[in-house]
Amino acid sequence: MNWHDVRLRLRALIFRKQVEEELSEELNLHIELQTRKNINQGLDEAEARRRALVKFGRPTYFAEECRYEWRVSMIEHLLQDSRYACRMFRNNSAFTLVAALLLALGIGATTTVYSLAYRVIQDTLPVEKADELIELGYDDPMRGFLTGFSHPGFQMFLKENQVFSEMFAFTDTFKLDVTRKGTAEFAEIVFQTTNMYTALGLRPALGRLINDGDGQPAGGIPGAVLSFRYWQKRFGGDPNVIGETIAINNTAFAVIGVAPSAFQGLILGASPDVILPLPVIESVRRVPVLNNGASLGLHVMGRRKPGLTLEEIRLALNPLYKTFVDHAISSFPPAFAGGIKAASSKWQFRAQEARRGANSEVRADLRESLTILLSITALVLLIGCTNLAGLLITRTESRMKELSTRLALGCSRERLIRQLMTESMLLAATGGLFGFAISLAGRPLLLNLLTSRATSIDIGPNFSTAVIAGSLSLVAGLCLGVAPVVTAVRISRGSFAVGLSRYRWSNGRRALVVSQVAASLVLLVVAAQFAFSLQNYRKVFPGFRPDHLVLFDVSVRGRTITYARELRQRLANVSGVVAVSHSLSAVGQMNWTTPIQVPGFQSSSPGGNFTGRNIVGPRFAETLGLEVVLGRDIEIGDTRDKPSVAVVNEAFAATYFSGRDPVGRAFFFVDSMDRPHTIVGVVKNARDRGLKNRVAPMAYSSFEHDPLGGLTFAVRVNRQPEDVMPEIAAVVRELDASVPMGQMRSMNAQIDESLLRERMLASLSSVFSGLAAIVAAIGIYGMLACVVSRRSREIAVRIAVGARPSQVRWLALKESVLLILAGTAIGIPLSFTMSSAVQSQLFGIESDDPRSIVLAVASVLILATAASWGPATRASRVDPVAALKVE
C-alpha cells in the first residue's frame, strides 16, 4: 500500500458519487467507441452495439470488479448489507423481536453469570505483584484446607523462613460494636499485622495506613483504618474524619486513614469495615492471642522470593510447621491436647497461590453455584441459538425466490453469503447489546440471590462484562449465520424450482430440533431436582416451632445479667408477646463445639468428648417450642447463687448416658472444671446448626451462670412477627440506646436465608428450564408449521383422494414425534451426567431420581405435542381445492 493508493481509496470512499459517475463514463465510452468501430465496418447500429457489448462482457460485473480494486467495497458492502438487513428486519419486525429477545436473554444470562464468576473466582487482588502471594495452611481430610495459625507460630515463620521476602498475618472479621458520637453499631473488624499494608504495597485513599509504628506500645490512642466503603457509609466520606475518636468494643481508637477503594480485604466475602493493628487485639477482644499458642485464628501469607515453586516452599517450611503444631498441642489445656494431637496427625502442610486472595468459603460456595448456573445459562443460550438457526433457515428458504433472483442477476455467491452473515451478525449484535444491559442490571441481583455476604463483594461494571457479551454475540452471530448460508449455498447449487418442491426437513434441522429437546430435557431434570431438594430441606423438622418467632441480637457490656432480666420483663409486657428468652447464638446458626468430661463415661475416641453448646436464658425451650421429654426447662429460679444447670438434647443423653435418664447427673465443661453442670432436663433434638447439618449432642447451659455479652433474643408472638417487630425494637432502644442491636428477623426468614442458595438454584433453574422448554416448543411449532405449509399440495392430493383428517394429522405429527422421542432418548442419559455434576448441591436426591426424570420427560412430551398439535390440525383442515389452485 502506497500513499497514492490511500489517496485513491479515500477519494473513492468520500467522493463516491463522482467516482461512480467517472467509472460508468469510462465504461460507456469504451462501448461507444467499439460500436462506432463496428458501424464503420458496415454493421447497422443495433447489431454494432450488440457486438460491442458481447465483446465487452457484462458492464455491471466489470464495474463491480473495478470497485473491488478500489478496495472500498468491503466497507461499502458492509454498509449496504447492513442497510438491507435493517430493511429486512423492519419488514419482519415480529421475527426480529423474538430473535433479538432470545439472544438477549441467552447472552444476558450467560454474561451475568460468567462475569460474576470471573469477578468472584478469577480476579486477582488489586495489590502489588499479586502473583507472588502465597498462603499457608494445612489440609484436613475431613474439613479441607485450614488456614489457622497461632501468633507465636507466625512469628517463628517470620523469623526463620528463607523463602518469603515479606510475611504478614490477619484474623477473620469479627462483628463488634463501633461507637461514634454516642451511637453504637455493629461493624466487621479485622486485626492484621502492622506490616501488611506495606507488604501489599497499598496506598491510602486518605490519611495513612497502619504501619510498623502502630505496633509500638508507645501510649496514646491506637490508630484504626476505615475501609473505603465504611468511610462512605458511616462517615459520609467526610475528609475531616482523620483524628476522630471512635470506640470499638469500648476501646478508644483514632481514625488514621482510609483504605484504597479497590482493596476489600484478602478474604472474598469477608471484607472488613475497620482495620486494626494486631497488637491491640487482646485489649479489644479480651482474649489471649499474642502469646497463646492455642489460639489458631491467624491467616498467614507471604511474598515468595523469585523462582521458588510451591513445592520448594512447602518443603522449606515443613519443619517450621511441625514446630508450630507441637507448640500448639503443648499450649492447649490437657483436656484438649489429645484431640488436637489426633486431628493434627492427619494434617498435611500446604502452601498455595493467593493471587486471588486468601482461602474463602464464600468463594468456594459461589464457585459451585456459579458453575452450575453457567452450564444452565450456556444451555439456554445454546437452545436459543439453535432455535434461531432453525427460524433463520426457514426464513432463508422462504426467501429463496429473492435469493435466486439476486443470483441470476449477477450477485456473486460470496456477496450473498456476506449479506446473510451480516444479517445474523447484526441480529446477534442487537441481542448482545440488550444482553449486556441485562447483565449490568442482573449481576448485583444475582449476587444477592447467591450469597448473604453479597454486600461485602464489590462488583462495579467492569471491562470483562463487555468483552464477554461481545464475544458471545460474535460467536452466536457466526453460528447463526452458518445455517442460512448453508441453505443459500444449496439454493445457489440447485435450481430454485427444485428448491420449492423440496418439502422434507433437512437433516440439519432435524438435528436442531433433537438437540433442543435434549437440552431442555436436561435443564428440566436438573430444575426438578433442585426443586425437590429444596422441598426436602423444607420437610426437615427443625426440632422447634419456627413460625411466630422474632430474633434479634444485642451486644451488652458489664451488667449483662441485669440488662437481660430487665429486657425480658419489658418485652413480656409488649402486647402480642407470648414468651421471651435468649441464647448466645440463634438456634440454627450455632457453631460452638466444646470439650466436656462426663463422670463415668469413657471416651472411645482419642480426641475426648465434645458437645455443641449454647448458653440460654430461662424458659428457652418453651419459647422456641423445643419439646421437653424429661425433667424441666431452664427456669427463672436458676440464678447465679444456685448450682449451675444445663438442659441437654436426646443425642447427648444417648451418647453420654446410653439413653438412660440423665436428669440429676452432672458433667463438666472443660473450661470450667471447678463447677459441675447438673442436667435438669432433656429436650428433643433440634437443628441447632441449621437444616443442612446433622443433629449432634447439645448442651444448653443457663445464662446467669455464664453471662456472655452477646445475646440473641427469641420472642414468641401470637401475631405476624413483622407486626410486632417495630414495638420490640422501640422497647430495646428505650432500655438502653447505647447497646447496639443487630438485624431483627423472624425465624422463618432466618431459615429462608440459610436456604438462600438452594432457593436460588431451584428458582433460577426452574425459570431457565421453563424458558428453554418454551423456546424449544416454539421451535418445534415453527418448523412443523413450515413443513405443513410446504407439504400443503401433497396433503391436498391425499385429502382429495380420500385421506381422513386423523390420518393427515398423524402424517404431520409423525414428523415431530420421532424427533421429540429421539431428543428425549438422548436427553435422559445426558441428564444423569449433569445431575451427578450437581450432586453436591442436592439434598436427599439421587442423580437418577425417577420423579425428576418422569416429570421432565412428561413436561417435554406435553409441551412438544402441544406445539405440534396446531400445525398438524391445520394440515388436516387443508382445503384441497384451494391448496391445489395455489400452485
Count the alpha carbons within 13 Å of 698 in the hemisphere toward its beta carbon. Answer: 25
User: What's the CA gap between 602 and 623, in Å, rounded?
Assistant: 35
* 55 part of the interface to another protein, by CB under 8 A: yes
* 69 part of the interface to another protein, by CB under 8 A: yes
* 5 part of the interface to another protein, by CB under 8 A: yes
User: Which stretch in 21-29, 489-497, 686-694, 776-784 sits in contact with another protein by CB under 8 A?
Assistant: 21-29
Angstrom CA distances, 529 to 86, 563, 668, 776, stand at 43, 48, 45, 21
Residues of span 642-661 touching another protein by CB under 8 A? none
Question: Looking at residue 845, what DSSP letter applies?
Answer: -
Q: For the CB of residue 41, give the shortest distance to another protein in the complex, in Å.
A: 13
Centre a 10 Å sphere on the Cβ of residue 262 and count the other Cβ atoms it contains.
13
Q: Which residue of 27, 482, 663, 830 would you call a contact of another protein, by CB under 8 A?
A: 27
Those residues whose C-beta lies under 8 Å from the C-beta of residue 732, and which sit 6 or more positions away, are 552, 554, 567, 739, 741
Q: Which residue of 16, 70, 179, 282 would you call a contact of another protein, by CB under 8 A?
A: 70
* 51 part of the interface to another protein, by CB under 8 A: no
* 128 part of the interface to another protein, by CB under 8 A: no
Binding residues for another protein, total number by CB under 8 A: 30
* 21 part of the interface to another protein, by CB under 8 A: no
User: What's the CA gap between 614 and 700, in Å, rounded?
Assistant: 5
Q: Which residue of 66, 407, 725, 830 would you call a contact of another protein, by CB under 8 A?
A: 66
Q: What are phi and psi of 374, to 5 degrees?
A: -65, -40
User: Which stretch in 4-12, 268-276, 602-610, 816-824 sits in contact with another protein by CB under 8 A?
Assistant: 4-12
- The answer to whether the CB of 271 falls within 8 A of the CB of 126 is no
* 145 part of the interface to another protein, by CB under 8 A: no
Q: What are phi and psi of 203, to 5 degrees?
A: -110, 145
Torsional sign, CA 58, 60, 61, 66: positive
Residue nearer to another protein on the CB measure, 5 or 47: 5
Q: Which residue of 30, 415, 545, 759 would you call a contact of another protein, by CB under 8 A?
A: 30
Which residues are paired to 187 by β-bridges?
A: 176
* 869 part of the interface to another protein, by CB under 8 A: no
Residue nearer to another protein on the CB measure, 66 or 861: 66
Q: For the CB of residue 62, give the shortest distance to another protein in the complex, in Å.
A: 4
Q: For the CB of residue 10, give the shortest distance to another protein in the complex, in Å.
A: 12
* 45 part of the interface to another protein, by CB under 8 A: no
Q: For the CB of residue 79, give the shortest distance to another protein in the complex, in Å.
A: 21
- Exposure class string for 478-497: b at 16+ Cβ within 10 A, else e: ebbbbbbbbbbebbbeeebe
* 460 part of the interface to another protein, by CB under 8 A: no
What would the 3-class secondary structure string for 462-499 be?
Answer: CHHHHHHHHHHHHHHHHHHHHHHHHHHHHHHHCCHHHH
- The answer to whether the CB of 491 falls within 8 A of the CB of 404 is yes
Q: For the CB of residue 8, give the shortest distance to another protein in the complex, in Å.
A: 6
Q: Which residue of 14, 18, 22, 346 would you call a contact of another protein, by CB under 8 A?
A: 22
* 73 part of the interface to another protein, by CB under 8 A: no
Residue nearer to another protein on the CB measure, 65 or 353: 65
DSSP per-residue codes, 347-416: -EEEEEE-TT-S--HHHHHHHHHHHHHHHHHHHHHHHHHHHHHHHHHHHHHHTHHHHHHHHHTT--HHHH
* 4 part of the interface to another protein, by CB under 8 A: yes
Q: Which residue of 10, 14, 58, 412 would you call a contact of another protein, by CB under 8 A?
A: 58
Residue nearer to another protein on the CB measure, 5 or 566: 5
* 62 part of the interface to another protein, by CB under 8 A: yes
The cell for 479 is 453460528
User: What's the CA gap between 628 and 113, in Å, rounded?
Assistant: 47
Is 675 in a helix, a strand, or coil? coil
Please, what is the Cα angle at 277 between 275 and 281, to 5 degrees?
100
* 13 part of the interface to another protein, by CB under 8 A: no
User: Which stretch in 64-72, 244-252, 636-644, 813-821 sits in contact with another protein by CB under 8 A?
Assistant: 64-72
User: What's the CA gap between 51 and 45, in Å, rounded?
Assistant: 10
* 9 part of the interface to another protein, by CB under 8 A: yes
* 26 part of the interface to another protein, by CB under 8 A: yes
* 32 part of the interface to another protein, by CB under 8 A: yes
Per CB under 8 A, residues contacting another protein are 2, 4-5, 8-9, 22-23, 25-27, 29-30, 32-34, 36, 55-59, 61-63, 65-66, 68-71
